[in-house]
Structure 1
Amino acid sequence: MARDVEHGVTGVPHSHERAQLLYATQGLMRVWTDNGMWILPPRRGLLIPPGVTHHWRALSKVTMRTVYIEPSVAARMGDSCRVIEVSPLLREMILALLNEPIEYPIPGRGEHLAMLILSELEAAETVPIAVPWPRDRRLIGICEAIMADPGSSRNIEQWADEVGASARTLIRLFPKETGLHYRQWVQQVHLAEAFGRLAEGQSVGGIAAALGYASPSAFTAMFRRVLGKTPQHYLTEWRGP
């Protein structure tokens, strides 16, 4: 499917009978499910299993180029949402398949492209960036506030006073509800926010300051520790051809 959407457009919550690779060749998207949130810059796609309700918002003008996958085949790719690296080869094959009929003939060029796309999807590297979402109302309030102001310096004790719960309760609830400890959850928010800002062309120093890091080097160290690459690596990659 090819679709171009303007900045600010939001898709209604929906699901598909097939799995979906939600991907844009240009632009920035934020995607939500009941269990998490992801920010997708170029060269990243979100694999969404069949039946998972999701919605998205265009954070810039977006050229969406998505692929739908039969459930029996998609089962090989896992049963949870995950962000993958979209290689230059995968990108070009998706664009090539879009030039084929929706009901492409078998055997034929469309079938060959589809098989190569599936092979690339199965081999694609998972990017460990996800913001799992809680269901407890106290945590939801905290998480929404952090998402609105990711550079906030509030600690767990201050949030406890804000929502009327003890710090010990919040410390226990975060891993129970999200699978991550509080600081790990905040770090995932920072990574997601950083990817979005990098895709917009913001400097590493500006991103570090916006997210509350003492210096660009402190932010870069966190980024590289989690992802194995520096922010500068991604800036260079996205500015390439």
Structure 2
Amino acid sequence: MGAAQTRADPGRANPGGADSRRLPRYAAGEIDVPFVIKGKAEDIPRDTYWEEHSHPTHELLWNERGASSATVGRRVWTITPTVGLWIPAGTPHSGWTPAGTRHRAAQFSVHAVPAVSDRTVAVQVTPLLGLLLDRLDEGGLAAGERSRTEAMVLDVLAPSQRELILQIPESPLLAPIVAAVRADPGDPTTLAAWAGRLGVSARTLTRAFRAETGLGFSRWVATARVQRAVEMLARGEEIEEVAACVGYHSASAFGVAFRRITGLSPGRFRAQ
């Protein structure tokens, strides 16, 4: 497998060779910021791991180019140009941003902005929302224009129905499976084979996966595969190559799994 398949789990630790960024931990509202919404854009030249941190402000993350991830607790969220992530102020989170990503972030004052949600949620980054946030970042707006634009941003911010989350099980029983699949989503080991290796029944593994993630083994593996596929597709890799790398014998089988989880075909996702 290529580097994208053998890379260590970016959600839990800093993979070797990646840049690491350490940011402070703040409680919600700990710093009184002098803005309502403030954005930042950055081209990421190297694979970058963001150590766990938290902001005094609410944060909206999305990408102009590429796919990244953020880990909140035991959940790994995929971030793309069309699906961003709302992280409430004070929420500890870490992140993984592959080289070549055009990374965007907007901070929202807790005193001036009502939270979109009091929990971490995916947000649909519509063309209108993107244009409004771009306008705020450009600067030079008169006070009244800025206030109106900020109000429009808050009007159009809404949770997305197409969130892509992978719940990471905590059970020591499932740890070898999790490590293998996160390192190589194309790992072909079946549920029965894992049961044999671990000395338990397939039913025991199925119950453990459902109890900890709400998904059976096959659906959990499919979600892990689609998360890696999204990153690869966002880099412009060919659908057939991506399908093979994440463990599918045909592009059509990959397309069915991808659509079931994201609501989009691989080709439609790449076009977006």
TM-score, length basis structure 2: 0.76
Do the aligned partners of 2:57 and 2:110 also contact (CA within 8 Å) in 1? yes
Change (3 A) 1:163 1:118: farther
Cα offset for 1:164?
Answer: 4.6
Describe the superposition over 1:65-93 as per-residue Cα deviations: whole angstroms up to 9, x where unpaired.
21223457554x33433333311211111
1:216 is aligned, of 251, 260, 272, to 251
1:114 is aligned, of 132, 136, 150, to 150
Do the aligned partners of 1:39 and 1:193 also contact (CA within 8 Å) in 2? no
Query: Unaligned 5+ residue runs, structure 2?
Result: 1-38
1:155 matched residue in structure 2: 190
2:240 is aligned, of 205, 213, 227, to 205
- What are the within-5 Å matches in structure 2 for residues 60-99 of structure 1? 60-71=99-110, 73-75=113-115, 77-99=116-138
Do the aligned partners of 1:25 and 1:91 also contact (CA within 8 Å) in 2? no
Paired residues, number? 232
- Give distance in 2, aligned partners of 1:71 and 1:135: 32
Q: SS state of the match for residue 126, structure 1?
A: coil
211-220 vs 226-235, greater mean Cα deviation: 226-235
1:23 matched residue in structure 2: 62
1:230 matched residue in structure 2: 265
Which residue type is aligned with residue 48 of structure 1?
I
Do the aligned partners of 2:57 and 2:109 also contact (CA within 8 Å) in 1? yes
- Give distance in 1, aligned partners of 2:153 and 2:207: 42
Percentage of pairs with the same residue: 29
Do the aligned partners of 1:42 and 1:199 also contact (CA within 8 Å) in 2? no
- Give distance in 2, aligned partners of 1:10 and 1:146: 20
Q: Which has the higher helix share?
A: 1
36-45 vs 145-154, greater mean Cα deviation: 36-45
- Give distance in 1, aligned partners of 2:235 and 2:41: 21
- Give distance in 2, aligned partners of 1:179 and 1:117: 34
Change (3 A) 1:110 1:193: same
Change (3 A) 1:186 1:71: farther
1:45 is aligned, of 75, 84, 104, to 84
1:167 matched residue in structure 2: 202
Which residue type is aligned with residue 118 of structure 1?
L
Which residue type is aligned with residue 17 of structure 1?
P
Do the aligned partners of 2:76 and 2:165 also contact (CA within 8 Å) in 1? yes
Q: Cα RMSD over matched residues?
A: 2.3
Do the aligned partners of 1:19 and 1:74 also contact (CA within 8 Å) in 2? no
- Give distance in 1, aligned partners of 2:198 and 2:54: 33
Which residue type is aligned with residue 233 of structure 2?
L
1:182 is aligned, of 217, 232, 236, to 217
TM-score, length basis structure 1: 0.85
- Give distance in 1, aligned partners of 2:253 and 2:117: 34
Cα offset for 1:21?
Answer: 0.8
